[in-house]
Structure 1
Amino acid sequence: MLEAVILLNVQREKEFQYETKEGEIMIWTNDFEEDILYLPAKRYQFNKLYIVTGFTDCEMIAQHLIRLHDRQNNKENKRAYPSHIEINMILGMYKRNGITLKKHEKIKETLRQINRIAPQRIQTNCYYIYRNQEVHSKLYIWTNDKHSNGIAFMGSANYSINAFRVRREILTKCDWQEAMAYYDSVFEDTISCFNEEVFDKLKFKENIVVQNDDLSLFNYENLTYEQLKQRKPIDQLTISWLTSKGDVGKSSGPNWGYRGKKGYNRNPNEAYIPYNKARQKPGFFPDRKQPDDLNCPLFKVVTDDGEVFFMRMAQENNKAIHTATSNSLLGGWLRRKLGLKPGSFVTLEDFQRYGRTDVTFIKYADDVFIMEF
């Protein structure tokens, strides 16, 4: 019998080869997010990712998929990543204890937002185990359209922020074809989260005792607006919704959806917060790591009415702040706060009637903020 040689990821260079010699076992024990969730797509042009996990959180889904999309559009990586990536995930531990209706709807809305960003580039599907035994496995399989080649990893790490960034977990490479066969076997016991029959198959509750694995320590489900307010902030910044002339842009800012030719099919809810050079506070929001990066990094925003957005600086010279999955989310939220109908044209009088014309960002970490309006 060959004696296994265990190669810990902490002892290797970041740009490593996944291949191992006979008798060697590659084990990832920390800092494995890049190797498991991104590098196989870049190195091997694998464009299908199959995930089996006990639990997940919406932040993990959103951050992973938006970053994949960003890398597809990043000048440095544009040719390195497949032009279209499909992700299929199975959530295995909601059959017995059920899932809150709030989380179910949040998962669906997160996937809708991601799939709307660029459906020709990223497509995501999510399924629940609803019959036979629950599934506590953690499995990540990358392959191509023809399923002619692939790579797979199994271990203890759920598809969650906790597992990939907080806790001590372990993952190891396994036979991708056997892993794919296992995925197919449990897939037979699933139902899509978008299937209306899911309400007959699973228990939906207002409140349940949530498994620790099911929550990110940095998830909106844990860190609410009220809980964040109890913490000491790093910094804060107030930014006006108005132009430098003191009015509301007719086709910019809150009314970004009204730009272009009349009759052009835009979402009238589209909006951004004007953030021109005179208003900018260097280092307050996360900026591009490389000057030629197409997009700035994401940051999480919890609003004073309990909404959660993933936002970033955008446009030339970072002169705008918008919601990353769709800038209509910010515009829709603003109009609700102002008491306007969806898609309404926003005027200065609307802000004056509301009582303020600016928004305050309170910073708790480089990528965690409160937004008050």
Structure 2
Amino acid sequence: MMQNDLTQKILFNPLHAEVNELYILSAYATPNMLSWYMKNIYHKTTVPIRINLVVGMVPFDNLSVSIHEGFQNIVSSELPHEISSIKCSYVIDKPAEHANLFIWCKDGHPVTAFTGSANFVQSSFVGRHRNELMDICNPAEAMSYYESVVPRTVYCNHAEIEEYIILRPTHPVLDLECNLVNGLDEYDSVVLSLITKSGEPGTRSGLNWGQRKGREPNQAYIPLPSRIAKSGFFPLEKRHFTAITDDRHQLTLRVEQQNNKAITTPVRNSDLGEYFRNRLGLANGAYVTRADLDQYGRTDVKFVKLDDETFYMDFS
């Protein structure tokens, strides 16, 4: 049985066998974990892999709006070269599936498989936040079980998916459309400045991080002061987290760079810059000035912590 280094043993070491398919049946899973894996598989394989994820406990616990929309965003997004495709589906009929299986295949043939307590979530695989116990299992038997579940699933991006599952609000302060329905005063919050000590946005940092030769000009990050980074408000260890914005968008973010000084959109650094330029009424790739922020009416952005992986981002 395995207790340590589960991430390496289950998610990365099998790549050395030139496998090209990963089948995951997980009782619970999050788009934050999937985006984390997309980011961290970079340069770890020369053989692009196909990822097929089945989320098993949807008939029992239903699914939050942010989890569902997060999966939909990922399967329709641009993928790294190491991943050829991602499919995500939900078990829709009872009984719900509480099993966890990770099955690696090569050209359709099962090569190695793992089962145990670890769900496909960051608290199981990123950092040491709880103990998990996994073991190697018979890959053919694991694949047979996985395939027996598939007929009771529907893809997350199916045109009529909401006819098959029950969605619940991401958090009690939000409705199904991610509108605020309750106040946020009782929740911890921080306000992060988008300008430097000079009173201007950084010329080659912050919202203008990409304004350098050879860079995608929309690349951006939100500066994070050291005292806030050290406070525990945001997850560290390069864990991904979700921000629900005041205009009902959803961003996957993480804290990174030296001394945890930046909040970025890790899968595609330009996503954050495109978001802010759109809010400011600027063209993609435009240089952001203090005048642009003043005209909009904000030189900062507020984050409210709803839970360890979910935040409300207010730039209204």
Structure with the greater alpha carbon radius of gyration: 1
User: Does the alignment pair 1:352 with 2:294?
Assistant: yes
Retained in 1: the 8 A contact 2:66–2:170?
Answer: no
What is the CA–CA distance in structure 1 between the aligned matches of 2:221 and 2:163, rounded to whole Å? 42
Aligned residue pairs, count: 290
The corresponding residue for 1:151 is 112
3-state SS of the aligned residue for 1:196?
coil
Q: What amino acid is aligned across from residue 14 of structure 2 in structure 1?
A: P
Deviations 1:97-124 (A, max 9, x none): 42233321122123434xx142564532
CA distance in 1, matches of 2:301, 2:56: 41
Name the counterpart of 1:90.
54
Identity %: 28
Counterpart of 2:134 in structure 1: which amino acid?
L
- Structure 1 residues 52 and 319, CA gap change in structure 2 (3 angstroms): closer
Matches within 5 A, 1:329-344: 329-338=271-280, 340=281, 343=284
Name the counterpart of 1:193. Answer: 156
CA contact (8 A) 1:299 1:369 kept: no
TM-score by length of 2: 0.70
Letter in 2 for 1:150: V
Residue 151 to residue 299, structure 1, CA distance change in 2 (3 Å) = closer
* Map 1:27-66 → 2, pairs under 5 A: 27-42=1-16, 44-66=17-39
Write the distance in 2 (CA, Å) between the matches of 1:302 and 1:88: 22
Q: Does the 8 Å CA contact 2:278/2:284 hold for their aligned counterparts? A: no
| Alignment counterpart, residue 206 of structure 1, candidates 159, 164, 169 | 169
CA contact (8 A) 1:300 1:369 kept: no
Superposition map of 1:156-167 within 5 A: 156-164=117-125, 165-167=128-130
Q: Determine the structure 2 residue equivalent to 1:327.
A: 269
Counterpart contact for 2:245–2:312, Cα < 8 Å: no
Of 48, 71, 78, the residue aligned with 1:107 is 71
CA 299–240 in structure 1, closer or farther in 2 if over 3 Å, else same: farther
Aligned residues: CA RMSD? 4.6
**1:238-290 Cα distance to aligned partner (Å, 9 max, x none):** 66379x995786x99746789889xxxx8x8x232498xxx998xx79xxxxx
Shift of 1:207: 6.5
Q: Distance in 1 between matches of 2:14 and 2:46?
A: 10
* Superposition deviation, residue 328 in structure 1: 3.0
Distance apart, 1:155 and its partner CA: 1.6
CA deviation map 1:196-250 (0-9, x unaligned): 12122222233799xxxxxxxxxxxxxxx978737xx9xx9866379x995786x
2:28, 2:310 → 1: CA distance?
23
Q: Report the Cα distance in structure 2 between the residues aligned to 1:120 and 1:29, rounded to whole angstroms.
A: 27
**Cα gap change, 1:104/1:241 in structure 2, threshold over 3 Å: closer, same or farther?**
farther
Deviation for aligned residue 1:52: 0.6
CA contact (8 A) 1:240 1:273 kept: no
1:338-359 deviation line (CA, Å, top 9, x unaligned): 3x26738444421222456577
Equivalent-residue separation in structure 2 for 1:351 and 1:337 (angstroms): 10
Matched residue type, 2:28: F
State the shift of 1:169 in Å. Answer: 2.5
Gaps of 5+ in 1: 1-26, 73-77, 210-224, 286-296
Contact 1:241/1:273, CA 8 A, preserved across alignment? no
Report the Cα offset of residue 88 of structure 1: 0.7
CA 1:145–1:299: 2 relative to 1, 3 Å = same
- The alignment partner of 2:10 has SS state of helix
Distance 2:153 2:122 in 1: 24
Q: Which runs of no fewer than 5 residues in structure 2 stay unpaired?
A: 173-183, 231-236
Corresponding position of 1:229: 188
Q: Secondary structure at the match of 1:272?
A: coil
